[in-house]
Amino acid sequence: MPLPAVPPEPLHSPVIHTTPEIHPINLAHVPDIRLIACDMDGTLLDDDCAIHDDFWPLIDRLHARGIIFCPASGRQYYSLLERFRPIANELIFIAENGTYVMHKGIEFSSDCLTREAVQELIRTYRKLKLKEADVSAVLCGKHSAYVEENNEDFFAEAAKYYHRLEMVDDLLAIEDDILKLATFTPRSSEHVIYPMFASFRNAHKVVVSGEHWLDVMAPQANKGSGLRHIQERLHITRDQTMVFGDFLNDLEMMDEATYSFAMANAHPQLKARASFLSPGNADNGVVRTIKSVLGIE
């Protein structure tokens, strides 16, 4: 993918004007950013799951500078595609927590689970459900996502993140390339679900992807590896990369960018991993930070 030339940098140093409890970030220069990867829930999206109106004109400014914007989410590719449909061909998508990277309908990379691992994960989920009735699961494939529980409330919850979602009789019978098993509880996924799947950490990636969600993926899969595939393919460096995130599934992504930002509302572990702190998702932190760091009025 050719990158348009970046126009001359502004003469002033960027300052992020943040909420009072967050110190401004002063950089000595405007960095040569070519790639911005951004989580969705709790990061780009506000507390009503909406994208701020200021985002859309900002995208035009970024593309004019040759900067690629990359939604990086635990959400399904088709869900992200629908959300960004007017500009989808201009973006690169890191979907399913890094297991599926797509651009213009073409696969950049994917990390799938083995059939044996999928079967073992489904059986483990079913054992957990016998003990914790409010736990549910989505089996996430390249072509669709699948649930076997006839629960309208959970189906509606899962549909927020999975645009293609099918109700099936048996998850073990699914024929698809499986990217991950996503498990859900209305309580804390860290406390209710994680202990049951902790033993999979030796051979898989087990990540608490949100307050209520936990994902199990191939061992090498994470948002950081998905981002790295893009950087290598487009010859973009860490110093030319900016990332934003708020939860534990964003940890590895912080390591792949010199300009890594944790949201003010982020998990403490992510704040410790990131290089900088951004205003929160409810304060349009992503857009404000990008404008300030890049000197965009």
| DSSP secondary structure of 126-187 | HHHHHH-TT-EEEEEESS-EEE----HHHHHHHHTT-SSEEE-S-GGG--S-EEEEEEE-SS
* Residue 140 near residue 179 (C-beta atoms within 8 A): yes
Task: Compute the C-alpha angle 217/75/73, nearest 5°.
Answer: 80
Q: Topology of 35-111+222-294 in CATH? A: Rossmann fold (3.40.50)
Domain residue spans in the chain? Answer: 35-111+222-294, 115-217
pLDDT of residue 173: 97
Token reading at 84? 């960004």
Which of the residues 39, 41, 246, 250 is marked catalytic?
A: 39
Establish whether 54 is a catalytic residue: no
Helices (H), 206-247: 223-234
Sort residue 49 into left (φ over 0), alpha (ψ -120 to 50) or beta: left
Q: What tens-digit pLDDT sequence spans the chain (297 residues)? A: 443 333 333 323 333 433 334 445 667 789 999 999 999 999 999 999 999 999 999 999 999 999 999 999 999 999 999 999 999 999 999 999 999 999 999 999 999 999 999 999 999 999 999 999 999 999 999 999 999 999 999 999 999 999 999 999 999 999 999 999 999 999 999 999 999 999 999 999 999 999 999 999 999 999 999 999 999 999 999 999 999 999 999 999 999 999 999 999 999 999 999 999 999 999 999 999 999 999 998
- The per-residue pLDDT for 23 is 45
CB-neighbour burial class of residue 238 (10 A; exposed 0-12, middle 13-18, buried 19+): middle
CATH topology of domain 115-217: 3.30.1240
- Calpha distance 196→213 (Å, rounded): 13
CA-based end-to-end distance of the chain: 28
Q: What pLDDT score was predicted for residue 25?
A: 64
Q: Which helix (H) or strand (E) holds 294?
A: helix 285-294
